[in-house]
Structure 1
Amino acid sequence: MPTAPYLRDPLAQTDLTDWGVIPTMIEGESHTSGKLIHKGANGESECGLWLCTPGKWHCHVTRDEFCHFLQGRATYVHESGEVIEIIPDTAAFFPKDWKGVCTVHETVKKLYMIR
């Protein structure tokens, strides 16, 4: 019988894995870390907790991603000019091939699902 992976109290999580620096930085040095809740057998989907420190970078979403931002502030600006302001308790869906610039103003923590 399959199990249902879960994460209790995501805001209190501090035991995160270092996922490195964002490779497409424009300004600063955004450092990421997180905790994987589930990854599909063939890597086709994953979900987890993601933390990112302040900075600005080029963003290209390569697979559909749903995010629920729990803390921090960020601005996502699509290449078309559309602006998404992220504050705590913001949910957003970024479709595959979304491209733009992300600026993290205050360290963000989010739950995400990629498919």
Structure 2
Amino acid sequence: MSETQTNTPQTETPVMRNPLEITDTVDWGPIPTMIEGESRTSGKLLYKGPKGSPESGIWICTPGYWNCEVTEDEFCHFLAGRCTYTHESGEVIEIEPDTAAFFPKGWKGTCRVHETVRKVYMIR
């Protein structure tokens, strides 16, 4: 994921305009923890800081169902699509366009993408 700046001092503010319209994304491959289907991910990096953190950009994922474990705090603003996150405690989070969510490090559960999702994210 080195489409943008990495490990260099910031001299300009990274800006991404019209994230719903961006088409020059990079294939990031299939979700490795699939339960059902074959979700594929792609995206575009906006910024990646020194040593890989923080990271922000666009993430796109096709339909499927998988186990999900959040390894770093992540803020997401979902722009398109529908999916359901189910925490291991049983809490159900329905995602639709214009939903913002914060997933803390250590969050575990499943994700079922019903319609291809597109989100802007920041991981720290």
Give the TM-score normalised by structure 1.
0.98
Cα distance in 2, alignment partners of residues 44 and 5 from structure 1: 15
Structure 2 counterpart SS, 1:42:
helix
2:76 to 64, 67, 70: 67
> Any gaps of 5 or more consecutive residues in structure 1?
none
Q: Identity across aligned pairs (percent)?
A: 70
1:106 paired residue number: 115
How do 1:22-37 and structure 2 match up within 5 A? 22-37=31-46
Cα distance in 1, alignment partners of residues 87 and 15 from structure 2: 32
1:52 paired residue number: 61
Question: How far 1:13 sits from its partner (Å)?
Answer: 0.7
Give the TM-score normalised by structure 2.
0.91
Letter of the 2:100 counterpart? A
1:93 paired residue number: 102
Question: How far 1:41 sits from its partner (Å)?
Answer: 1.3
Letter of the 2:123 counterpart? I
Greater than 2 Å deviation, 4+ residue runs? none
Deviation by residue 1:26-57 (Cα, 9 ceiling, x = unmatched):
00000000000000011121000000000000
Letter of the 1:9 counterpart? N
> Any gaps of 5 or more consecutive residues in structure 2?
1-9
Letter of the 2:122 counterpart? M
Deviation by residue 1:70-104 (Cα, 9 ceiling, x = unmatched):
00000000000001000000000000010000000
- What is the number of equivalent residue pairs in this alignment? 115
Structure 1 counterpart SS, 2:20:
helix
Q: Which structure has greater strand proportion?
A: 1
Give the alignment's Cα RMSD to 1 decimal: 0.8
